[in-house]
Amino acid sequence: MGTAVFDDPILLTRDEWPEDEWRRSCESEGKDPASDRVLVTAGVTRTPIGAAHVPPRPLVLLIAAYALADGDMAELVKTLHPNPQESDAQKLSRLLHARKRGHGEDGLVRRAQQVATLVMGGKVGRGTPPPELLPREHNTACHITHRRELGWSWDQICEELAPKGYTRDDVFRLAVLNLSWPEK
Measured CA to CA, the distance from residue 64 to residue 95 in angstroms comes to 11
- Structural domain boundaries of the chain? 2-50, 57-119, 135-175
CB 166 within 8 A of CB 157: no
DSSP state letter for 183: P
Residue type, 92: L
Q: What is the pTM of this model?
A: 0.52
SS3 assignment, position 12 = strand
Q: What is the per-residue pLDDT across 59-100, written as a single tens digit (0 to 9) for each?
A: 889 999 999 999 999 999 999 888 999 999 998 988 888 877
